[in-house]
Amino acid sequence: MFNQNFLVFLGFFQDLIKYKNIYVYPIIVGVIIGCLAPLIGSVIVIRRLSFIADTLSHFSLAGVCFGVLLAHQLADTVFENTISPIALGIVFSVIGTLLIEKLRSFYKNYKELSMPIVMSFGAALSGIFIALSGDSSSNITSSLLFGSISIVELKDFIVILVMSLIIIIFIVIFYKKIITLCFDETFAKVSGINVKLLQLLITIILAVFISISMEIVGVLLISSLMIVPVASSILVGKSFKNTCIISVIFSEVSILLGIYFSYTLSVPTGSLIVIFNIVILLFIMIYRNLIKCFKKKNTKQLDYSITIDPNTINENVDEVTEINEEDKEIVKEENLENKE
């Protein structure tokens, strides 16, 4: 059994060297996504925008499906290799962000209505584009729903690298302002931060990230990749920075394990990544419960150990009073001797 598993493990690295275009690109993209997802997810969790990730992922899917449709229509032409579904997914996700902000201005008292409207619009467009693309796009679209390690091509890889670099630069430049906005929006306004503009930029960055991670994780599981590692790290992190670092570690572990077992089991990559994230979360929850039970037992034992018998207290008090009376007599005798 051990030898068989070792041969499978060895075969994975042999294929990794042999088929660089198929496996190296997804692994590099996976490592980048594993780093960015929890950082963006931390902001989403604190700002309570978890639902917006699902909304933008569905609208981004419409852009990717539109790209697949264009590629199908332009087949056997000079423009065949110029169409990047990922790039169109980014464009559509940014459009979805602008639509959400516009709808929020119409429904000031019911701002959450904007997200299901945009989500349903994106899902409807995706269905139409998939139907118009024909049977040739069925494999691509099914891979986009749950992710695949073999779908990342060179042109998509370049787009993902460029967009990832833009996201990292944005996070580095606006880090302090983002932290201020997350924890105290009122103070951010007083400090002179353009809150509306910063919120819009954060949402656009979220939309771009969703588009570039769609191929590895899948549309239906992107929000889980951003939220679950953060949910795990919150239970063990002692500060915001510490929580972000731990969530990145959890995310990277789940992504690398997901890619490897996706290769060995021929299972969708995104599904396995999320499963490993959930397993990590369950382990941490069990660990927290065990620690709580252990602390309760220790506190009870400590309470029992410091319980004192009232009779013992009375005896000690009597002894102390006797000692004090003896001290008084000694002091009196010393005073008498000094007088003499």
Give the pLDDT of residue 283: 93
Give the pLDDT of residue 22: 62
Instruction: Supply the DSSP string of 250-267, one letter for each residue.
Output: HHHHHHHHHHHHHHHHT-
Give the pLDDT of residue 281: 92
Give the pLDDT of residue 137: 57
Give the pLDDT of residue 280: 92
Q: Hey, what are 6's tokens?
A: 């070792």
Q: Hey, what are 95's tokens?
A: 């459009």
Give the pLDDT of residue 213: 79
Give the pLDDT of residue 331: 45
Give the pLDDT of residue 313: 46
Comparing CA positions, the residue from 46, 59, 34, 27 lying closest to residue 248 is 34
Helices (H) and strands (E) in the chain, counts: 14, 0
In Å, what is the CA distance from 202 to each residue of 94, 182, 198, 210? Answer: 11, 11, 6, 12
Give the pLDDT of residue 320: 46
Domain 2-293, CATH: 1.10.3470.10
Give the separation between CA 119 and CA 111, rounded to whole angstroms.
Answer: 14
Comparing CA positions, the residue from 196, 221, 212, 252 lying closest to residue 89 is 212
Residue 105: DSSP 8-state? H
Give the pLDDT of residue 317: 45
Low-confidence ranges of the chain (pLDDT < 70): 1-23, 76, 78-82, 135-143, 147-152, 300-340
Q: Structural domain boundaries of the chain?
A: 2-293, 310-340
Give the separation between CA 270 and CA 226, rounded to whole angstroms.
Answer: 12
Give the separation between CA 84 and CA 212, rounded to whole angstroms.
Answer: 11
In Å, what is the CA distance from 96 to each residue of 40, 70, 116, 130, 163? Answer: 18, 20, 11, 19, 18
